[in-house]
Chain A
């Protein structure tokens, strides 16, 4: 699996397509979600999947884990889940040679791919146990900092409907997800295909086509993609447009938004734009690339004010309207 071949844009595209193809063996439809998850991985980010139960959120993550030759761990978040259940803890062990002592028992966070299923069911204290891992790629256990394996990324899921007994993610944790992807309910052909694949003797399985080294090489290539200042300006203007206090922000933002996207949002926009440019066969990112990921990148970074909450403003619609007000060039 590992190869010494240098990563080129062409190979980048080829590898990416291979992973998509393998995941496509398991996942019916949801190509945008799969591409989004892979983009988040290649952008060195984490991704939040949101969808009603049964639409294949966990299945997508598992398929991605299968397609990637990486370790995979699933954490089912519950209210009684403790931070140590995620990060691990020091345990007393007795050795015949060394005698009794402490030994680190690593938690599931020490895998390459971590599925935080129904992350909003855990308490904020437990949720915050992932903060350091998601941003710093390290965890601190009993005063000792431990680096996480590379590549590392977290894929979390949450149910938007069932709000009872949940703990909505704080803004700081939401900002650490490079994208928030919505897993839509499958349409009729997709649903039929799902039945075909899951109710017969055939059990589709995604083969691992991408190892960690390749992923890291692809990540390096992404960062070499040149972005013109005009494209960067456009990404910045998009982020600023989500801020109601910013000069020249659209009226809809001033009306419904309490706080806009953070600089992490601009970073995510540019990184995702670069990946898209490579996938499109270009060697530079364009404003179209930036705008293509604007909703997925900004939707969870925009916080509604009271009026927006009261009126039930759809964040996707809101972000789309804001993006439409920002001219290109």
Chain B
């Protein structure tokens, strides 16, 4: 470089740094303002939505990375002398004098010398710092203003949100932690099981996950809305009120947290046992966890059991009192004339309805009617009491009444918790859970008993529509088959004979009562539930009782099931009558095959007739033992609510008090058994 161009070279160096600085400033100005606006918008959105906290501050400041990157790129871009001097020439109005002089450095001739001299003369009066201001450019001001605005927005938002309420709002609540922990443990449980077990427990785990996630999500939404509400309350309330609100929050949460905690503890305990046990244990653990989730669910069981217990407790009183109901029971169960086939046929017919025996007046009532009178309820008129369809309808109504009563109890609890938005949300969530739980349990109950509700409805069902049958086909089949098994194992012909003609009188003498069984229970086992009931009633009603048990009222024309016809011999006589006509039941005149058939039929009729069949303790005793055994086997798959109920139900049928941990219901829920009026 020619020595006399040193001033131009120095100006080029200075201009280079200034140009780089201006490039950085221009990049920041170009990208910074939009980024700051986006950042501010993000901050405001978060503030409005959930409250701006320190944890989300990096997200808010993320758009500001763009101007930083742009500035870095501008700073890294090389700046040559020509570009620097061009900028300096333009800024100083030198019309490329400096750039031309430097470009023709070392050249001679023509106008170059004069041009160089001219450039040097002009360069001496140029100060790159003044000619090329970095920050003074007007275009940087919008970016600076936007940045200042962003800082102001952040300051305001953070000053509002860096409060204890906001801080707690950003953290998961204990309820959410417990839910997450529970979900993690469920995952571990499922992963630790063999494939077969995993399939078995998949449904239960899915249900449980859905419940837990629902509660957790509700809590999360509630927590997200909390800072806004708390700030509004804080503005309106004095400091003491705010403190009181803060104290209420954990307590309100504790209601649901307590429920979930109980669930968590129970599942944890069961899981610990399940990991070392077989698949059945695991399945039981999960089922119990599902069935036992929530104190309200347990309340539902207690409420149900309490209702059963009340009825059971009232029933002996009704039976013991000299009421027409007692006489009716005697007329049904203890009528001497009814001993034997006639009484059984009377019981088999009419789905449990028995008209008063001759000579005992018209006031004969079945135990349920007596119970209804004892409880002050209106007894249906006699003209409709024997109709099995109406009986089933009343049973359904009664089931609905019981469910309504349960729901009313829940509603009372719910009313206690109303008044606070968060509590309301939590309770509503739990209420949905309970309704779903109740529906599921009822559905399982109905399924198990044979009648399926119409369709598989999702979600809570306010009214359960129970099946008209209290016993379904599968259970009936299992009972009969179990009974056959028992018979094959060692039941003697004498036991069978006693079963035929001795049970009713025994039951009558002992004053035992059994829960009514629907007349269409076993009919359904052999045919469609709706059609079988009247059909069975019709067929069995033809067996007019010799002992005055009365004819069945069944008037269905669609009956005539094969099993029922099997009881009828040629010439209009039933098979039992035909056998008795040979006079050989007690005398051992029957062949083993005939005795077995009679034995099975009688047992079937017993089950069909329920209480109305009277005694036959040996026969029914074996039957109910078998039922207990089957129930024990199935109890692993059953919820406690139904398990206890079913055990008590069969215990009531058998006339004893055992079979269940709870007091067996003498009068089963109407949803399970149509009652004799």
Question: Could you list which residues of chain A lie within 8 angstroms of chain B, going by C-beta atoms?
Answer: 9, 221, 224-231, 277, 280, 282-289, 328-329
Q: What 4 pairs between A and B have smallest CB-CB spacing?
A: A224-B110, A283-B115, A284-B100, A286-B95
Smallest Cβ-Cβ distance to A222: which chain B residue: B111
- C-alpha gap A230/B100 in the complex (Å): 8
CB B34 to nearest CB in A, in angstroms, measures 22
Please name 13 pairs of A and B residues whose Cβ atoms are closer than 8 Å in the assembled complex, sorted by A: A226-B107, A226-B110, A226-B111, A228-B103, A229-B82, A231-B99, A277-B95, A282-B95, A283-B112, A285-B96, A286-B96, A288-B95, A329-B86
Per a CB cutoff under 8 Å, which of B83, B86, B95 touches A284?
Answer: B95
With a CB–CB cut-off of 8 A, which chain A residues contact B101? 284
With a CB–CB cut-off of 8 A, which chain B residues contact A225? 110-111
Smallest Cβ-Cβ distance to B89: which chain A residue: A286
With a CB–CB cut-off of 8 A, which chain B residues contact A287? 96
Whether A329 contacts B87 in the complex (CB less than 8 A), given A286-B95, A286-B96, comes out as yes
With a CB–CB cut-off of 8 A, which chain B residues contact A231? 96, 99-100
B90–A228 touching, CB < 8 Å: no
Instruction: Identify which of residues 110-157 in chain B touch chain A, using a CB-to-CB cut-off of 8 Å.
Output: 110-112, 114-115, 118-119
User: Does B601 sit at the interface, judged by CB under 8 A?
Assistant: no
Per a CB cutoff under 8 Å, which of A9, A221, A224, A228 touches B96?
Answer: A228
CB B77 to nearest CB in A, in angstroms, measures 14
With a CB–CB cut-off of 8 A, which chain A residues contact B109? 224
- C-alpha gap A287/B90 in the complex (Å): 10
- C-alpha gap A9/B109 in the complex (Å): 14
B111–A228 touching, CB < 8 Å: no
Per a CB cutoff under 8 Å, which of B86, B110, B115, B119 touches A230?
Answer: B86
- C-alpha gap A328/B115 in the complex (Å): 21
CB A326 to nearest CB in B, in angstroms, measures 14
With a CB–CB cut-off of 8 A, which chain B residues contact A288? 95
- C-alpha gap A277/B82 in the complex (Å): 20
User: Does B104 sit at the interface, judged by CB under 8 A?
Assistant: yes
With a CB–CB cut-off of 8 A, which chain B residues contact A9? 111, 114
**Residue-by-residue, is B61-99 near A (CB-CB < 8 Å gives 1, otherwise 0)?**
000000000000000000000110011011000011101
Whether A226 contacts B100 in the complex (CB less than 8 A), given A283-B114, A328-B90, comes out as yes
B82–A230 touching, CB < 8 Å: yes
The CB with the most chain B CB atoms within 10 A, among A277, A280, A282, A283, is that of A283
Whether A224 contacts B99 in the complex (CB less than 8 A), given A229-B82, A329-B83, comes out as no
- C-alpha gap A9/B115 in the complex (Å): 11
With a CB–CB cut-off of 8 A, which chain A residues contact B83? 230, 329
CB B114 to nearest CB in A, in angstroms, measures 5
Per a CB cutoff under 8 Å, which of B82, B86, B87, B111 touches A283?
Answer: B111
Question: Could you list which residues of chain B lie within 8 angstroms of chain A, going by C-beta atoms?
Answer: 82-83, 86-87, 89-90, 95-97, 99-101, 103-104, 107, 109-112, 114-115, 118-119
A226–B95 touching, CB < 8 Å: no
- C-alpha gap A147/B112 in the complex (Å): 33
Smallest Cβ-Cβ distance to B99: which chain A residue: A228
- C-alpha gap A224/B107 in the complex (Å): 12
With a CB–CB cut-off of 8 A, which chain B residues contact A283? 111-112, 114-115, 118
Whether A229 contacts B86 in the complex (CB less than 8 A), given A283-B115, A284-B97, comes out as no
- C-alpha gap A226/B102 in the complex (Å): 11
CB B593 to nearest CB in A, in angstroms, measures 104
Sample of 10 more A-B contacts, CB < 8 Å, known A225-B110, A230-B103, A231-B99: A225-B111, A282-B115, A283-B114, A284-B100, A284-B115, A285-B100, A286-B97, A286-B100, A288-B95, A328-B86
Smallest Cβ-Cβ distance to A232: which chain B residue: B103
With a CB–CB cut-off of 8 A, which chain B residues contact A329? 83, 86-87, 90
CB B109 to nearest CB in A, in angstroms, measures 8
With a CB–CB cut-off of 8 A, which chain B residues contact A282? 95, 97, 115, 118
B96–A284 touching, CB < 8 Å: yes
With a CB–CB cut-off of 8 A, which chain A residues contact B111? 9, 221, 224-226, 283-284
- C-alpha gap A210/B96 in the complex (Å): 31
Smallest Cβ-Cβ distance to B117: which chain A residue: A283
With a CB–CB cut-off of 8 A, which chain B residues contact A280? 95
With a CB–CB cut-off of 8 A, which chain A residues contact B90? 328-329
With a CB–CB cut-off of 8 A, which chain A residues contact B114? 9, 283
- C-alpha gap A283/B97 in the complex (Å): 8
- C-alpha gap A187/B115 in the complex (Å): 40
CB A183 to nearest CB in B, in angstroms, measures 29
CB B9 to nearest CB in A, in angstroms, measures 15
CB B97 to nearest CB in A, in angstroms, measures 6
- C-alpha gap A105/B454 in the complex (Å): 120
Per a CB cutoff under 8 Å, which of B87, B100, B110, B118 touches A228?
Answer: B100
- C-alpha gap A286/B103 in the complex (Å): 13
- C-alpha gap A230/B37 in the complex (Å): 38
Smallest Cβ-Cβ distance to B102: which chain A residue: A228
CB A277 to nearest CB in B, in angstroms, measures 8
- C-alpha gap A260/B388 in the complex (Å): 102
With a CB–CB cut-off of 8 A, which chain B residues contact A277? 95
- C-alpha gap A283/B109 in the complex (Å): 12
With a CB–CB cut-off of 8 A, which chain A residues contact B110? 224-226
CB A219 to nearest CB in B, in angstroms, measures 14
- C-alpha gap A230/B96 in the complex (Å): 9
CB B445 to nearest CB in A, in angstroms, measures 77
CB B19 to nearest CB in A, in angstroms, measures 10
With a CB–CB cut-off of 8 A, which chain B residues contact A228? 82, 96, 99-100, 103-104
- C-alpha gap A227/B87 in the complex (Å): 17
B86–A226 touching, CB < 8 Å: no
- C-alpha gap A329/B82 in the complex (Å): 9
The CB with the most chain B CB atoms within 10 A, among A9, A225, A228, A280, is that of A228
With a CB–CB cut-off of 8 A, which chain B residues contact A328? 86, 90
Smallest Cβ-Cβ distance to A288: which chain B residue: B95
CB B380 to nearest CB in A, in angstroms, measures 92
B82–A226 touching, CB < 8 Å: no
A226–B118 touching, CB < 8 Å: no
A226–B115 touching, CB < 8 Å: yes
The CB with the most chain A CB atoms within 10 A, among B96, B104, B112, is that of B96
Smallest Cβ-Cβ distance to B98: which chain A residue: A228
B86–A227 touching, CB < 8 Å: no
With a CB–CB cut-off of 8 A, which chain A residues contact B115? 226, 282-284
With a CB–CB cut-off of 8 A, which chain A residues contact B119? 284
CB A2 to nearest CB in B, in angstroms, measures 23
Smallest Cβ-Cβ distance to A225: which chain B residue: B111
- C-alpha gap A289/B96 in the complex (Å): 10
With a CB–CB cut-off of 8 A, which chain B residues contact A227? 100
